[in-house]
Amino acid sequence: MSVSSSRHGITSLPRSKNYKGPFGRLFRKLPPWRSPHGDDATAIAALRDFATNAMSETVGQDNLDNANLPAGYTYFGQFVDHDITFDPTSSLMRQSDPEKLENFRTPRLDLDCLYGEGPADEPFMYDKNRGGAFLLGTTEQDWTGEKDIAGSKEPDLLRNRQGRAIIGDMRNDENVIVSQFQLAMLRLHNRVMQKLATGDPDDDTTEFGFDGDRFQEAQRKVRWFYQYVVWNDFIKRLVSDAIWTRVLDKSDNHKFNGTVYDWNYQPFMPVEFSVAAYRFGHSLIRPGYQINVNNDAETGLGFGIELPIFHPNGPEDNAGNIRHDLRGFRSFPHRHTVQWDWFFDIDSGGPFPQPARRIDTKLSSAVFALDEGPAPKPNMLAFLNLLRSMRLELPKGSDVAQRMGLTPHAINDPHEDILWHYILKESQILPANNSGRMLGAVGGTIVAEVFGGLLDGDPMSFVRNMPNWKPDDDADLMSLLDNPAPVNGGDWEVGDLLRASGAPIDANDVANTIANGRN
């Protein structure tokens, strides 16, 4: 362990010689970004000022569309993040050595956020009468949390009496959109289990005992479908064709060709990815979303009505009244079932889907104020990300670019060289047709290589076992679809994953789901 030192009055991060831990660094020899200010308090204040003045969209002017990315990919990306990384031990208020941080998620796309430790260790998530299927819940309250809904069949996650979801990762209840995606993935697993046990994916009444081999086969099918769309849809949309093709070379049975991401024994989670590159998704958040076309005064929804993920003025007004937003960690609001063709291109026609916000250096008003720590006070998400980058001593963006053999873009303020901001600006200044629509070379390389490396390093992934596998090679998966072909006529996408789950796709599906509990 190296001896800590101090520059500009800020204690530096001890550098571990062991880089094989669950978290680690891609650029171990690059020096960390340093604040231009001499003491810690001034450095933190400068980060807050930079976030406020340089990274905040003006309310009403923050709806900059990303034509390449429907809005659902923002929250699919959040779901994927929760599948591969979770560090509840690090603090923003102290320096942290990433090699001593423990990732409470396996660095694999294995859906442990869904399955947890499995039916034997976490039986409370599973149905004892349909061995290996998940228990689901129903909606119990209106959006104010004040009115109970009697006799509702509208599906929700399983919850305790205080409205907290009983799922493999609590973070997947953070907002309505990600919790509804969690629900869809639970339903996908259940449909596969029902197909294997009874021959009918829609038979959710026939009881069957637990069979470990059947459960593992259902897991494998769901995981491979999910892994396939992560790489062939999500990541392909985010990075250049040259990067995507190089990282997993299909001509060589998906050979992994990493230039910055490598390991000796097993994949680790790089802090340059988890703290900087992959947080491009925060820029994708729109100021508001249309959830469904359920027009009635009781819900406050309807065509053209958008709700923020988190209300920028907080969850309650001065009189203590609940503000209408899409926050989670509560009973799912009645009649708010997500209409997925508003979020993914599922060939519904009309104005669908709504786009994500573009990738740039601004964050929308929906995430201006967040709480952090046991004694919360309002903080901007941008400030929290910048502070985390400083605490974990990430390298400068310009240094990373040079390490990759690239010419760095212009830096007008020292804070613009913080790796997270550098990657956002890199996307923003791409040539006009791609500006804000995808990641640039630095961000795209880190994101693609980490995902490609995780798939290549997982001995159970489709890449390692059947590298040219596609979902349509699996008859059981195809039996879940009315039309056993990709919805948009190309490759398989997240929208196809949702179709297979039986989640509500269009307005008719939503109406039937609210009324009857199924599409």
CATH number assigned to the domain comprising residue 270: 1.10.640.10
So what's the pLDDT on residue 107?
82
Give me 177's structure tokens.
Answer: 């959109």
Question: How many structural domains compose the chain?
Answer: 1
Indicate whether 400 belongs to any domain: yes
Residue 353: cis peptide before it, omega within 30 degrees of 0? yes
Give me 25's structure tokens.
Answer: 């660094």
Per-residue pLDDT of the chain (519 residues; tens, 9 = 90+): 333 333 233 333 333 333 333 689 999 999 999 999 989 999 999 999 999 999 988 766 666 889 899 999 999 999 999 999 864 433 333 344 444 444 445 688 999 999 998 999 999 999 999 999 999 999 999 888 888 888 899 999 999 999 999 999 999 999 999 999 999 999 999 999 999 999 999 999 999 999 999 999 999 999 999 999 999 999 999 999 999 999 999 888 889 999 999 887 788 899 999 999 999 999 999 999 999 987 777 788 888 889 999 887 778 888 888 889 999 999 999 999 999 999 999 987 777 899 999 999 999 888 876 655 444 444 578 999 999 999 999 999 999 999 999 999 999 999 999 999 999 999 999 998 899 999 999 999 999 999 999 999 999 999 999 999 999 999 999 999 999 999 888 999 999 999 999 999 999 999 999 999 988
Please tell me the distance from the alpha carbon of residue 120 to that of residue 105, in angstroms, as a whole number. 19
Indicate whether 244 belongs to any domain: yes
So what's the pLDDT on residue 5?
31
The length of the chain, given as a count of residues: 519
Indicate whether 413 belongs to any domain: yes
3-state SS, residue 508:
helix
Please tell me the distance from the alpha carbon of residue 121 to that of residue 238, in angstroms, as a whole number. 37
What is the CB neighbour count within 10 angstroms for residue 246? 18
So what's the pLDDT on residue 102?
45
Please tell me the distance from the alpha carbon of residue 118 to that of residue 108, in angstroms, as a whole number. 16
As a 3-state breakdown, the chain gives helix, strand, coil percent values, each rounded to 5, of: 40, 10, 50
- What is the domain extent for residue 473? 6-119+237-307+343-493
Q: Where would I find the H helices in 199-351?
A: 212-229, 236-238, 241-247, 271
What is the CB neighbour count within 10 angstroms for residue 376? 9
Residues pairing with 249 in the sheet = 255
Torsion of CA 480, 486, 492, 497, to 10 degrees: -30
Within its chain, how far is the Cα of 303 from the centroid?
26
Q: Where would I find the H helices in 161-207?
A: 176-198
So what's the pLDDT on residue 92?
32
Please tell me the distance from the alpha carbon of residue 418 to that of residue 411, in angstroms, as a whole number. 10
The amino acid that residue 27 corresponds to is F
So what's the pLDDT on residue 379?
55
Please tell me the distance from the alpha carbon of residue 340 to that of residue 400, in angstroms, as a whole number. 38
Residues pairing with 379 in the sheet = 370
Q: Are 471 and 496 in contact (CB under 8 A)?
A: yes
Tell me the HSE value of 344 on the side-chain side, using a 13 A CA sphere.
30
Write down the pTM of the prediction. 0.91
Indicate whether 183 belongs to any domain: no
Please tell me the distance from the alpha carbon of residue 352 to that of residue 347, in angstroms, as a whole number. 8
Give me 243's structure tokens.
Answer: 């990067």
The two beta strands, 23-24 and 269-270, are parallel
Place of tokens 């988190």: 310
Residues pairing with 56 in the sheet = 363
So what's the pLDDT on residue 326?
94
So what's the pLDDT on residue 317?
82
Count of helix runs (H) and strand runs (E) in the chain: 16, 10
Indicate whether 197 belongs to any domain: no
Give me 4's structure tokens.
Answer: 């800590």
Q: Are 134 and 189 in contact (CB under 8 A)?
A: yes
3-state SS, residue 395:
strand
Please tell me the distance from the alpha carbon of residue 39 to that of residue 36, in angstroms, as a whole number. 9
Indicate whether 318 belongs to any domain: no
Q: Which letter does DSSP use for residue 303 in this model?
A: T
Please state the φ and ψ torsions of residue 134, each to the nearest 5 degrees: -85, 145
Q: Which letter does DSSP use for residue 416 in this model?
A: G
- Please name the residues in contact with 28: beta carbons below 8 A apart, sequence gap of 6 or more: 15, 19
Rounded to 10°, the helix 494-501/72-84 angle is 80
Instruction: For 339-382, give the DSSP string.
Output: -GGGTS--S--TTPPPEEEP-SS-B-GGGS-B--SSS---B-HH
So what's the pLDDT on residue 64?
83
Q: Are 124 and 115 in contact (CB under 8 A)?
A: no
